[in-house]
Amino acid sequence: MKSSPPYRTGQRLPLEGGGHLRLSVNPRARRISIRIDGRRGEAVAVAPSERRLADAVAFARSKSDWIAERLSARPAGAALEPGAVIPVEGRPVRLEATGGAGAARLVDGPEGPRIVSGGEGEAFSRRVLNLLKRLAHERLAERTEVHRKTLGQGPVSIAINDAGTRWGSCTPKTRAIRYSWRVILAPPVILDYLAAHEVAHLVHADHSPAYWSVVRGLIGDHRPHRAWLRANGAALHAIGR
C-alpha cells in the first residue's frame, strides 16, 4: 500500500525561533526555494512536487536564522486610522477624522494633501480603503487605456483586488486585468509601469525577451521600476494591516 507524503501543499509549520513556514508546490519550479511573504509574515518553502516538500522543509530549517532575520526586518503594519501618514501616489498624506459618517476624500491644503473621512474605528478604515481603491481604479484604468491603444489592442476589463504579493495579473484569453489597489500608494511612474506590464501580456503571455521588448516600447527601461517594487513592496503591503 502506497503511503501518503508526510507534507502537503498549504501546510503551515512552526519554525524554531518563531514564525511559521508555509509549504507550496509549483510544478514550474526548477529547484527548492525559500521566500518571505511580507503580507502574511511567514516564510514560504516552494518545491517542484509534493514529494519534494520534505526536502524543502529540511532546507528551510537549515536556514532558520536567515528566515528569522528576514521576518524580524519586515515593516510593521500601519493601520488606516486618524493621525496616520501613508503614501498616496508617492506623496505623504495624513489621515484625519471629520466626525459624522461622510465618505473619505482626498483634499489639498496649505500643509499638504490629506484624506479626511467620517466614521470611527473600522468604519473610518473602510472609508479610507474604499477611497484608495477608487483612486487606484481611476489611475490604472486611464494608464491601461493609453497603453492598450498604443499597442492597437481591443478593450479589456479591469478589476481591483489585494492579491497577496502580486501587483497585477492579465488573462489574455478573457482580456481581464487585475491590479492590486496598493499600487496607488507608489509614485505614478511605478503605477504606469505596472499598467504597461499587464497590457504587454495581451501580446505575449510569458516573460520572454519579446515580451520585455514590448514593455520597453511602452515605457522605456523598466528595470528601475521593478527594482523600486522589490525594495518598497513589503512596506506597501504592510499598510492597512
User: What does the domain layout of the chain look like in residue ranges?
Assistant: 12-73, 85-238
Report the greatest alpha carbon distance in the chain.
Answer: 75
pLDDT of residue 73: 67
pLDDT at residue 44 is higher than 70? yes
176-194 mean pLDDT: 97
C-alpha cell at 138: 481611476
Average the pLDDT over 95-111 and give the result: 90
Q: What is the mean pLDDT of residues 120-144?
A: 96
The H or E element containing residue 236 is helix 223-238
Helix (H, G, I), strand (E, B) or coil at 176: strand
pLDDT of residue 169: 93
Band the pLDDT of 68: cuts 50, 70, 90: confident
- Between 214 and 164, the more confident residue is 214
Segment 85-103 shows an average pLDDT of 93
End-to-end CA distance of the chain: 47
Q: What is the pLDDT of residue 65?
A: 83
Cα 52 versus chain centre, distance: 28
What's the pLDDT at 1?
Answer: 47
Over range 34-63, report the average pLDDT: 88
**DSSP classification of residue 74:** S
Grid cell, residue 43, equals 516564510
Residue 238 has pLDDT above 90, yes or no: no
| Long-range pairs of 126-131 with CB within 8 A, sequence gap ≥ 24 | 127/103, 128/80, 128/95, 128/104, 129/80, 129/181, 129/240, 130/103, 130/104, 131/103, 131/104, 131/105, 131/106
Which option is the CATH number for 85-238: 1.10.10.60, 3.30.2010.10, 3.40.50.10470, 3.40.1160.10? 3.30.2010.10
Q: Return the pLDDT at 75.
A: 64
Residue-wise burial string across 52-78, b where 16 or more C-beta atoms lie within 10 A, e elsewhere? bbebbbebbeebbeebbebbeebeeee
Q: In the chain, at which residue ranges do the beta strands (DSSP E only) sit? A: 12-14, 20-25, 33-37, 42-47, 85-88, 91-97, 105-109, 112-117, 157-161, 168-171, 176-180
